[in-house]
Amino acid sequence: MYTQAMDTMGKEAGDGRKNVRSAEEMQLEERFDAQIDAGNFIEAKDWMPEHYRKTLVRQISQHAHSEIVGMLPEGNWISRAPTLKRKAILLAKVQDEAGHGLYLYAAGETLGTSRDQMLDALHSGRAKYSSIFNYPTLSWADVGAIGWLVDGAAIMNQVPICRCSYAPYARAMIRICREESFHQRQGFEALLTMMQHGTDAQKAMVQDAVNRWWWPSVMMFGPPDDESPNSAQSMRWGIKRVSNDELRQKFIDAAVDQAKVLGVTLPDPELRWNEERQAHDHGPIDWSEFWRVIAGDGPCNRERLAARVKAWDDGAWVREAAMAHASKHEPVRDAA
């Protein structure tokens, strides 16, 4: 994903320093605005307003955290994948998510925040990640449902970020999106195999997984546009290109057709085609659940964070060894 839902999490909505800007700063900001208006990319070395930088650090780091926390629910099934083929696919997919995290931490670092700072914010519970990963994976069908729905929603969210005004983020997203489309297809194909060739119990397992993942996936696009306070500024800056509700609608419309191919029912009795809007209407979304999970009270919040902190602590010796190795290869400085 996994960033859209996080647009509401910032507390830096105004830096309160607008009145004390120097003439030089105002000129730089005008030049920056003109670059944005012209649709040009901003590079790491370019001047940028502090609020733009902070918004990006928050969004990119939350996105990076989501990628690596997102490895946990599916990683849980690597040792129990039903066949060698499925195991190889799942291993590759989970490894891709680690790579996505690395591209994104690297993009975040170009804004002057270190990886250690970003990870410290995650481990201490100050930073957020996508709430979808706080749900458990109870059966093998959950792995397919995550690929189909969660990675499917991620693609909808992430394709517009390939045109984000901050170039290092946009470049990272281009690579990530190529892999996400493979993730979505492998999930859909795994479910389709069970629905077409599986036993009744396996088909029921698929339906159960879809029932549990549908609404959290719909919520991945974040709160409705009129309740998404940072969206307008992010749109103005070209960080965000398409609104939460528009993306959600696109996702739902695509999923309805795919559900028909699979032969599963989406758990929303109010889901129906609206001829006038040329889109599907859907039932009410339980936003109280969304806010509860974001606030830390989802089914697996504590478990996920504990797993990340443990991985970080267990990996300390690897980081130390890598630093020791790197220091041996540092160029010898001239005493003069």
Contacts with Fe ion by CB under 5 A lie at 67, 97, 100, 151, 180, 183
Query: Quick one: 73 or 223, whose CB is closer to Fe ion?
Result: 73
Distance in Å, CB of 152 to Fe ion, minimum: 10
Distance in Å, CB of 113 to Fe ion, minimum: 21
Tell me the pairing of strands 279-281 and 272-274: antiparallel
Q: Which residues contact 198 (CB under 8 A, 6 or more apart)?
A: 206
CA 230, CA 68: separation in Å to the nearest integer? 25
User: Which of 329, 255, 241 has the alpha carbon at shortest distance from 7?
Assistant: 241
DSSP string, 136-204: ---SHHHHHHIIIIIIHHHHHHHGGGGG-SBHHHHHHHHHHHHHHHHHHHHHHHHHHHHHHHS-HHHHH
- Structural contact between residues 55 and 12, judged by C-beta atoms closer than 8 angstroms: yes
Query: Quick one: 100 or 282, whose CB is closer to Fe ion?
Result: 100
User: Which of 50, 112, 59, 18 has the alpha carbon at shortest distance from 235?
Assistant: 59
Query: Quick one: 57 or 94, whose CB is closer to Fe ion?
Result: 94
- Structural contact between residues 35 and 42, judged by C-beta atoms closer than 8 angstroms: yes
Distance in Å, CB of 203 to Fe ion, minimum: 25
Distance in Å, CB of 15 to Fe ion, minimum: 31
Query: Quick one: 92 or 295, whose CB is closer to Fe ion?
Result: 92
Tracing tokens 């990119």 back to the chain, one arrives at: 60
Query: Quick one: 100 or 128, whose CB is closer to Fe ion?
Result: 100
Q: Which residues contact 153 (CB under 8 A, 6 or more apart)?
A: 1, 217, 218, 220, 221, 251
Query: Quick one: 151 or 268, whose CB is closer to Fe ion?
Result: 151
Query: What is the chain's percent helix, strand, coil content, to nearest 5?
Result: 70, 0, 30
Distance in Å, CB of 336 to Fe ion, minimum: 49
Phi first, then psi, for residue 104 (nearest 5°) are: -75, -40
CA distances from 209 to 33, 82, 302 (A): 46, 16, 22
Distance in Å, CB of 55 to Fe ion, minimum: 21
Q: Which residues contact 260 (CB under 8 A, 6 or more apart)?
A: none
Distance in Å, CB of 226 to Fe ion, minimum: 29
Query: Quick one: 56 or 104, whose CB is closer to Fe ion?
Result: 104
Q: Which residues contact 185 (CB under 8 A, 6 or more apart)?
A: 147
Distance in Å, CB of 325 to Fe ion, minimum: 29
Query: Quick one: 88 or 295, whose CB is closer to Fe ion?
Result: 88
